[in-house]
Structure 1
């Protein structure tokens, strides 16, 4: 199934062993059904799905470590950072022992120890999955030479870090210089965008990749976070709960996370401010000055801030600049993003793209589904799988791992108001739940259901608080099945659980309708 076709006369006659060349002759060109550029969620999912279809598949990744941005600098390390901070700081126990309670002084070594353990485990999982599916792993930078062929450029420094060839790839694969394929998937991910005004040095001015690097010797006791997007708000809220640390969040926009429900965001900012965070919105940077241990930021408004470090989290750039896309007639926008159709095909129908490099929503969860759908269309183009996917109708959840965490599915109050849609709300507070009382300080959460007052159709579900990213899936499934608000009223939930919030919110919403009817 995974037998590689090498395009030289000498290697065609060489003996083969389990799909690998068993020869002293090193191949220069290999042929596959599919070559995937990258090894993140969309790349891995597409490769595995295609291998199940009996296709010859290779993954080409510039790093010797598999998993992409998700595993190494994005989702996995940042969420592990969050769990480590919550545990080490004693934040989850404040409701029982008071805010002065702290398990220990949190150090960057403590956090990175846990992060590196989890990252290593996740990489092992990815590698094992690819090996089991007999997907070849080729280390190196991919560059398109023509519409069906890429060249492989090695990073000698990266190879030396691993002291040799990548585990899971053979020395023959390490020596490949060119690969031909019938189809390609570009899933190269993104990197932090930089700004000439912000002198990122990896010490006192850092980006979101560097905050979890081994070059960080200590967690900054005072931190300026420039950029109040998802990444910025997540890290700001994490550092904010560490005792003795202060955070200032700065953004040029007047609102924070404007795609989320405004009431939920108000709850988040209130919670962060209660822990000492400061927000400066509508501010633009004039210049940044640094010393060995401090950073000073001057704003056009005249304000000046000084801190131990500045974290720059304004935007991300697709890592597509080295692919030579112009050689195959593909273009990129100013952020390096690639345009695709509903089947994830680029302007070249046999070249697909998925994941963060095609833009929003840029979630690990949606990237996995994009990779699966791309693979299905490659080998079964007549099947309309995209129409049945929840990506098509937008019925997928967002999870924002701030402290407290936020999750949502469906429409917000702002969207419904903009679309002139009448709606009613049902609200449940964690403090109303027995489980919430047991959780102490973590009981400050809220679940909100938006619904049609006439048909009781659910428009959206929004949650903030411990477990929000878990319980949101109840609302997601209910919306996918076209359940009305009465489904939550009639459902029997385990007791005591946070899931009960759905029943409480439904009863609250139906009660509002009854009062409105009585008032009229």
Structure 2
């Protein structure tokens, strides 16, 4: 039996970064991955594929350049599904190769097969690289899988979850997407831009309930402009798949009794932790009702030698936070220096078309906390750079503590919002004031000028202009 300092089950964002950190400090590390391809959902079915499809949809639709240069580009032929997935497949393959090279560089052993935790220090592997290995510590980083509501006939052809939608063999004429969370909204805009008729069904009366409501309204309005139809306050029931000769292959009823049909259905109704069949509960590891592993602030379970990180522990289930959770778990296992906890606040990136990214306090939260606040806004279309790139929509919004002029939150809707947010994140973390923002020099023309003009707008809205701006 080969012995390791650390055995990691799963090679996604949490598993990869934990493995490399431990190996960097000289620990002997093994990674067990059930798939033939490394990278987990982050590489193969989630983060990278959907974001690459977004860029593909923008390219084939010409949406970003439409009407800007006097002559719109035309493709020689209509894009088919092979074209649609071409770039996605390239990016996934390159990322998988990068992870494999990273493991090889750090002398990390990789086992392909299904893992079972036999005891607090032993993992049994079945499959291609069958073995029984021993580790001082075990990190479970098995990720999550799409939740499939009971009674829905998922067939991977007409009725999909967020994994199988990446295996479609045609671009549908119409699609019903159930669930208006991050995944549902991202795919809704991707398919709509590609020319698919999209209906987005949500049991609540709005999308993305954690967003600042003004930003949410901006996104909703833009989704409607590209043809997305919203069905709020209702659920899908009585789903039936019809033979292929029918115009619409999937027929269903809403809970209000109204019929709804489309070529395809996509259920984006949340995800559950992939903790089943690992043998963890028999060892005393606590697992909640969504199959998420329960951990403490050090990512340790109730079994001292077994840790867990990433989507398998539930919220926030982001690739970005999962990476740091894996690193922090390793820090506590071996008492390494640094990375003792991840930041309590972190940016959200939503890769709709256009993007949304947020950090810090929303206006709604400021109201609930009875904070004396003011708002600063700047729109893309009013910036020179915004005019150059033809941005018709886009908003940067600052939430500011009025007495101190400190920035409490930054909320962006528009192109490359997920890139622009990091400067806003620093503003909030450093407790920067409006005076400091307007006193800095920014490259022009750039979209970062949005921050300066939003700050000036906040100075006006907060009635500061007759007072010294200070620092």
The TM-score range, normalised by the shorter chain, is over 0.9
| 2:85 equivalent among 99, 104, 112 | 112
| 1:126 equivalent among 93, 96, 99 | 99
CA–CA distance in 2 between the matches of 1:129 and 1:34? 17
| 1:423 equivalent among 373, 385, 403 | 373
CA–CA distance in 2 between the matches of 1:239 and 1:349? 46
Q: Secondary structure at the match of 2:37?
A: coil
CA–CA distance in 2 between the matches of 1:238 and 1:472? 22
Given the alignment of the two structures, is residue 302 of structure 1 paired with residue 274 of structure 2, yes or no? no
| 2:330 equivalent among 351, 356, 375 | 375
**Which residue of 1 is the match for residue 320 of structure 2?**
365
Alpha-carbon contact 1:67-1:123 (below 8 Å) kept? yes
Alpha-carbon contact 2:286-2:301 (below 8 Å) kept? no
CA–CA distance in 1 between the matches of 2:395 and 2:389? 14
**Which residue of 2 is the match for residue 24 of structure 1?**
none
Residues 187-220 of structure 1: per-residue CA shift (max 9 Å, x gap): 000111111232111111111111111xx22111
CA–CA distance in 2 between the matches of 1:299 and 1:58? 48
Alpha-carbon contact 1:399-1:405 (below 8 Å) kept? yes
| 1:497 equivalent among 431, 438, 446 | 446
Alpha-carbon contact 1:225-1:310 (below 8 Å) kept? yes
Greater fraction helix: 1
| 1:407 equivalent among 357, 360, 364 | 357
- 1:310-321 equivalences under 5 Å are 310-321=265-276
**Which residue of 2 is the match for residue 53 of structure 1?**
25
| 1:324 equivalent among 265, 279, 300 | 279
| 1:151 equivalent among 87, 102, 124 | 124
Structure 1 residue 480 displacement after superposition: 2.1
CA–CA distance in 1 between the matches of 2:209 and 2:72? 33
Structure 1 residue 175 displacement after superposition: 4.1
**Which residue of 2 is the match for residue 34 of structure 1?**
6
Q: For residues 292 and 485 of structure 1, do their structure 2 counterparts lie closer, same or farther at Cα, with a shift above 3 Å needed?
A: farther
**Which residue of 1 is the match for residue 144 of structure 2?**
190
Alpha-carbon contact 2:376-2:454 (below 8 Å) kept? yes
Alpha-carbon contact 2:65-2:72 (below 8 Å) kept? no
- 1:19-418 equivalences under 5 Å are 29-96=1-68, 103=75, 104-154=77-127, 174-176=129-131, 178-213=132-167, 216-243=168-195, 245-293=196-244, 294-380=249-335, 385-386=339-340, 389=342, 391=343, 393-394=344-345, 396-418=346-368
Structure 1 residue 490 displacement after superposition: 1.0
So what's the TM-score if we normalise by structure 1? 0.86
Structure 1 residue 374 displacement after superposition: 0.9
Q: Secondary structure at the match of 1:91?
A: coil
Structure 1 residue 101 displacement after superposition: 6.7
RMSD: 1.8
Structure 1 residue 517 displacement after superposition: 7.7
Alpha-carbon contact 1:46-1:371 (below 8 Å) kept? yes
Alpha-carbon contact 2:29-2:109 (below 8 Å) kept? yes
Structure 1 residue 100 displacement after superposition: 8.4
Q: For residues 75 and 98 of structure 1, do their structure 2 counterparts lie closer, same or farther at Cα, with a shift above 3 Å needed?
A: farther
**Which residue of 2 is the match for residue 26 of structure 1?**
none
CA–CA distance in 2 between the matches of 1:503 and 1:444? 18
**Which residue of 2 is the match for residue 465 of structure 1?**
414
CA–CA distance in 2 between the matches of 1:277 and 1:333? 36
Alpha-carbon contact 1:239-1:247 (below 8 Å) kept? yes
CA–CA distance in 2 between the matches of 1:277 and 1:42? 35
CA–CA distance in 2 between the matches of 1:330 and 1:54? 28
Alpha-carbon contact 2:192-2:198 (below 8 Å) kept? yes
Alpha-carbon contact 2:146-2:272 (below 8 Å) kept? yes
Structure 1 residue 327 displacement after superposition: 2.3
Residues 142-178 of structure 1: per-residue CA shift (max 9 Å, x gap): 1111111111111xxxx5xxxxxxxxxxxxxx242x1
Number of equivalenced pairs: 462
> Would you identify which runs of 4 or more consecutive aligned residues in structure 1 move more than 4 Å?
97-102, 515-518
CA–CA distance in 1 between the matches of 2:338 and 2:46? 32
Alpha-carbon contact 1:443-1:466 (below 8 Å) kept? no
Structure 1 residue 421 displacement after superposition: 2.1
Structure 1 residue 514 displacement after superposition: 2.0
Given the alignment of the two structures, is residue 511 of structure 1 paired with residue 456 of structure 2, yes or no? no
Larger Rg: 1
Alpha-carbon contact 1:190-1:356 (below 8 Å) kept? yes
So what's the TM-score if we normalise by structure 2? 0.95
Structure 1 residue 376 displacement after superposition: 1.0
Alpha-carbon contact 2:327-2:339 (below 8 Å) kept? no
Q: For residues 506 and 479 of structure 1, do their structure 2 counterparts lie closer, same or farther at Cα, with a shift above 3 Å needed?
A: same
Residues 357-387 of structure 1: per-residue CA shift (max 9 Å, x gap): 1111111111111111111111117x67435
CA–CA distance in 2 between the matches of 1:321 and 1:439? 48
**Which residue of 2 is the match for residue 15 of structure 1?**
none
Structure 1 residue 88 displacement after superposition: 1.1
